[in-house]
Amino acid sequence: MIETRLFLETLPTPTGLLRIVTDERETIRLLDWGAADDPADLRRRLPLGVGRLRLEARRAPSPARGAVDAYFNGDAAALDALAVETGGSVFQRQVWAALRTIPAGATVSYGEIARRIGAAGAARAVGLANNRNPIVLVIPCHRVIGADGALVGYGGGLERKLWLLRHEGALL
C-alpha cells in the first residue's frame, strides 16, 4: 500500500482554530475548524483514497498558511490560486469546483449551484456536498445561502458563516 506523507499545521483565526493539512507538493488536502490534537478526527475528515497516512507536524509555515493569514488580514483573493485535492464523488467534486467560482463578497443559493452544474432540482444534494467539503474557505461553502437569502447549513456554525460573509463584504 502506498504511504501518503501529509503535514499538519494549526492557525488561530478570529473565528477559531483552523487546521491545515498539505502534502509534499503543497496541495491542500484538508482545511477545517478543529483541534489538532484529535488524530482520529483528522483521519476521518481527510479525503478518501489517500492510502496509508503518515501525518507530521509542519516545521515551517506552508504557502497555504500564508494565504489564510492574508485572507484574515483582508485579502479575500489570497485563497483563489491555492491547489486542492478533495477526493469525494464526481458530484461532490462538481459542486466544490462550482463553489470556487463564487467571488468573495458574493453569495449564491444551493439551487443556483445545482443549476450551474447541470443538476437543476438537486439543491439538497448540493447542500449535502457542501456539508462534506474538506477544504473550507478555499472552497467557499460559506458563500452558499438559502433561496430566500437565509444563512443556512454551515458545518462550522452559523455564527462563523455570518462572520466570514461580513469579513468578505457580502453582508453588512
The verdict on whether 141 is a catalytic residue reads yes
In the structure grid, which three cell numbers stand for residue 1, read together? 500500500
Among the listed residues 30, 78, 123, 141, the single catalytic one is 141
For the chain, the first-to-last Cα distance in angstroms comes to: 51
| DSSP run (H or E) holding 52 | strand 52-57
- How far is the C-alpha of 13 from the C-alpha of 127, rounded, in Å? 25
- How far is the C-alpha of 112 from the C-alpha of 96, rounded, in Å? 13
User: In the chain, what are the helix, strand and coil shares in percent, each to the nearest 5?
Assistant: 35, 20, 45
Report helix, strand or coil for 79: helix
Query: Measured between alpha carbons, how far is residue 91 from residues 46, 98, 153 in Å?
Result: 18, 11, 18
Catalytic residues: 141
